[in-house]
Chains A and B, each alone.
Chain A
């Protein structure tokens, strides 16, 4: 379970995240949508304990992140949007290292590591250095690392970037199965079809504030006018669907 209360992040006079209240219960896959620069990544990085909130609180699986950060982080898996990892470790060593950070090792971890790498077609690359991996392979390895210690909560920033269609499908199935088992996943994405097909509930954030939150049906009702998630998103965020292409190209 993830609980955010009056969560705020300011950079000087700029408010990136403005008093957000959210509650994501166990067994829910929650989508976080918004235009570029709306505050999605900042919110997710605060939940992951990387950024310090200016005010407000974060509870992960019932543990207050600011009061007991280590206990809260022990229940979390984070998948960032940029796959930066140790270039000079092999894939298998990286998974072992991440499990070690959560105090886990032994046969069970080895078995999980092999299974996760096999799931994403990385078995053959397990003993090769990460520096020889492609962007998509690194992303798959990071996704695997978030599952290696079996966290209660997974926070994902743009999970589909760089993934091939097969890996994207596997990831969707993995996410659905994980929440079915009672865990919580919160993810940001720009791929609206993914959000529409996968998420139980969706929040739309703009200028650091939650603009709307609910199921697709709730959002449709709020946006008045029906349509798919793309139309709802554009109506709620007030973005123009497309500029006059001719005007732009002639400029």
Chain B
């Protein structure tokens, strides 16, 4: 037998270091224990190793997906950068208020990003602090509370902030280049962004911790998701109440002085978003201020320290509560029975697939609660249209016909967000039960098409309602109404097809929290691709619409061939974007080995 070196006898209270573990020798009145001096780096190392091993998830054809990501990402970045750069150059040309407008725009963007970050951190913290699979191991191991907090906070920050960083990069680059920020500007941008990301992470994690401790354990997850969604809805409504459209209409103010006074006034002086915007704009105006950076870094430090203290006292209790089992009883709804009866002619398999989709959606609070946010978005959207200044000086017949066209772009964007929330996660959510579907005589084509129709029909009803309502408010012509209805119908099918296709190409089978799927890498690519599709369709249709409106003004006949070409082309593209991604998804699902 091999002998092992025996550590020398230690005195009471003395610590002995053996293989990275610090053994505490017993002190009178204190029970013997073992405290690990495992570093933060060590706790996070499995995440780093996993991330390095599969940057885009475990899959074949990684190169293809990387190329797709870089193309879509490149187009998106160029688009955001280009638009903003042109706008900022225009602002630079306006004396007095140009820089104020640029600063205001940055502050408004940062407020929006801050809202997104808070929501995203609350949702992510629930996963990383309470639901993650590695927690059983970490909580059972002698890991110090502070290191666990640090590791999980870093994980939460990384997961919830990467998308904001991706969006902010072209924005900040455009600001830096337009205002000649100089070679130190990237450092200034990083110095403002870092605390700006950590403050919502610490706050979001603390809110989650409190909620998990306050609410009955079984309902914590559900209540948390409803609260998070309500909070997001509140942010959207607050943003609406700020009435950002006033900034675009200086003539609505009694005097220029009043307008400038509004521009000078901070959007929200106690918000980290305002400090970050001030810090960056101060540097760009060549009037650097230290106070915003001091506020940002000190607030971040306070938030992290208070978060750590809360974690120390509340985490163990909260974690234990969050491990209790879920809901037991469900109501057997009359709607389900009715839908079941209606679907009977389509066969047993299709009926059961649709019923299953509906049950899973309406019983999962993290899923249906997002409908609240959706309803708020729709109301805000319709209100925005209602308050558009459509009558008065400078509003011509031409503009009256162009605005509904722009309305289509915005409605398409709303649709894309909804598809990313509800249709895109469909494939990922099947991940753990794929064994059942794969071993049964179910064709993947049937599964995907049932998911397509279950997602698309409500989406289409919403899209048509939204476009019809806003077109009525805008008092558009019959022609524009027909164009809007045709375009939004085709776009709905295409966006739903894209969502399913990207859902199968970029699945997140092992996620612990369904709410995180839309904000994954695939969700981002889907949003970018949807925006590109909407832009393409609108560009193709713009010419025939322009010709028609022009002909109307000149009392001549529009070219029928031109109309057919434009709308036919847009329709064909939408049909291709509906069918091709679903075909790819079917192929990919057949190849999946799970």
Inter-subunit contact A50/B438 (CB<8 Å): yes
Chain B positions within 8 Å of A90 at CB level: 330
B529-555 interface bits toward A, Cβ cutoff 8 Å, 1 = contact, 0 = none: 000000000000000000000000000
A12-51 interface bits toward B, Cβ cutoff 8 Å, 1 = contact, 0 = none: 0000000000000000000000000000000001001111
Report the minimal beta-carbon distance from B589 to chain A, rounded to whole angstroms.
Answer: 12
| Given A88-B363, A244-B1, 7 other A-B residues pairs in contact with their CB atoms under 8 A | A48-B439, A70-B443, A98-B436, A129-B329, A132-B328, A247-B2, A250-B1
B269 within 8 Å of A by Cβ?
A: no
**A85 touches which of B2, B433, B591 (Cβ 8 Å):** B433
Inter-subunit contact B440/A73 (CB<8 Å): yes
A120 within 8 Å of B by Cβ?
A: no
Interface pairs (18), CB distance under 8 Å:
A45-B435, A48-B435, A50-B594, A52-B591, A69-B441, A73-B440, A85-B433, A90-B330, A101-B440, A101-B441, A103-B441, A104-B348, A127-B329, A128-B330, A129-B328, A132-B327, A250-B1, A250-B3
| Most chain B Cβ neighbours within 10 Å, of A99, A100, A128, A244 | A100
**A80 touches which of B347, B356, B435, B591 (Cβ 8 Å):** B435
Chain B positions within 8 Å of A128 at CB level: 328-330
B57-68 interface bits toward A, Cβ cutoff 8 Å, 1 = contact, 0 = none: 000000000000
**A84 touches which of B3, B325, B433, B442 (Cβ 8 Å):** B433
A76 within 8 Å of B by Cβ?
A: yes
B332 within 8 Å of A by Cβ?
A: yes
Chain B positions within 8 Å of A99 at CB level: 348, 352
A97-120 interface bits toward B, Cβ cutoff 8 Å, 1 = contact, 0 = none: 111111111000000000000000
B326 within 8 Å of A by Cβ?
A: yes
Query: Which chain A residue lies CB-closest to B344?
Result: A105
Inter-subunit contact A129/B326 (CB<8 Å): yes
**B352 touches which of A49, A97, A251 (Cβ 8 Å):** A97
Query: Which chain B residue lies CB-closest to A142?
Result: B436
A231 within 8 Å of B by Cβ?
A: no
Report the minimal beta-carbon distance from B483 to chain A, rounded to whole angstroms.
Answer: 41
Residues of B within 8 A of A (CB): 1-4, 325-330, 332, 347-349, 351-353, 355-356, 359-360, 363-364, 432-443, 591, 593-594
Assuming A93-B359, A100-B351, is B1 touching A50 (CB within 8 A)? no
**A70 touches which of B327, B363, B441, B594 (Cβ 8 Å):** B441
Report the minimal beta-carbon distance from B102 to chain A, rounded to whole angstroms.
Answer: 49
**B435 touches which of A52, A78, A86 (Cβ 8 Å):** A78
A38-75 interface bits toward B, Cβ cutoff 8 Å, 1 = contact, 0 = none: 00000001001111100000000000000001110110
Residues of A within 8 A of B (CB): 45, 48-52, 69-71, 73-74, 76, 78, 80, 84-90, 93, 96-105, 127-129, 131-132, 145, 244, 246-247, 250-251
Query: Which chain A residue lies CB-closest to B356?
Result: A97
Inter-subunit contact A87/B326 (CB<8 Å): yes
Chain B positions within 8 Å of A127 at CB level: 329-330, 332
Inter-subunit contact B439/A86 (CB<8 Å): no
| Most chain A Cβ neighbours within 10 Å, of B353, B437, B442 | B442
Inter-subunit contact B441/A100 (CB<8 Å): no
Inter-subunit contact B360/A48 (CB<8 Å): no
Assuming A86-B360, A127-B330, is B435 touching A132 (CB within 8 A)? no
| Most chain A Cβ neighbours within 10 Å, of B436, B437, B438 | B436
Assuming A50-B593, A73-B439, A93-B359, is B349 touching A84 (CB within 8 A)? no
Query: Which chain B residue lies CB-closest to A52?
Result: B593
Query: CA separation between A214 and B363, bound complex, in Å?
Result: 50
**A51 touches which of B1, B356, B593 (Cβ 8 Å):** B593
Query: Which chain B residue lies CB-closest to A47?
Result: B439
| Most chain A Cβ neighbours within 10 Å, of B1, B348, B594 | B348
Chain A positions within 8 Å of B353 at CB level: 100
Report the minimal beta-carbon distance from B288 to chain A, rounded to whole angstroms.
Answer: 54
Assuming A84-B432, A103-B348, A250-B4, is B438 touching A48 (CB within 8 A)? yes
Inter-subunit contact B352/A96 (CB<8 Å): yes
Chain A positions within 8 Å of B328 at CB level: 128-129, 132
Assuming A127-B332, A129-B326, is B435 touching A84 (CB within 8 A)? yes
Chain A positions within 8 Å of B327 at CB level: 129, 131-132
Query: CA separation between A96 and B434, bound complex, in Å?
Result: 17
Inter-subunit contact A85/B436 (CB<8 Å): yes
**A76 touches which of B2, B439, B591, B594 (Cβ 8 Å):** B439
Inter-subunit contact A251/B441 (CB<8 Å): no
Inter-subunit contact B441/A102 (CB<8 Å): yes
Chain B positions within 8 Å of A70 at CB level: 441, 443
Assuming A129-B327, A250-B4, is B360 touching A89 (CB within 8 A)? yes
Inter-subunit contact B441/A73 (CB<8 Å): yes
Query: CA separation between A97 and B363, bound complex, in Å?
Result: 16
Chain B positions within 8 Å of A93 at CB level: 356, 359
Chain A positions within 8 Å of B3 at CB level: 250
Chain B positions within 8 Å of A244 at CB level: 1
**B2 touches which of A69, A84, A101, A250 (Cβ 8 Å):** A250
| Most chain B Cβ neighbours within 10 Å, of A50, A69, A76, A98 | A50
Report the minimal beta-carbon distance from B352 to chain A, rounded to whole angstroms.
Answer: 3
Inter-subunit contact A88/B594 (CB<8 Å): no
Report the minimal beta-carbon distance from B21 to chain A, rounded to whole angstroms.
Answer: 16
Query: CA separation between A96 and B359, bound complex, in Å?
Result: 13
Which 8 residue pairs of A and B lie closest in terms of their CB atoms, listed nearest first?
A100-B352, A84-B432, A131-B326, A78-B439, A88-B363, A48-B439, A101-B440, A74-B441
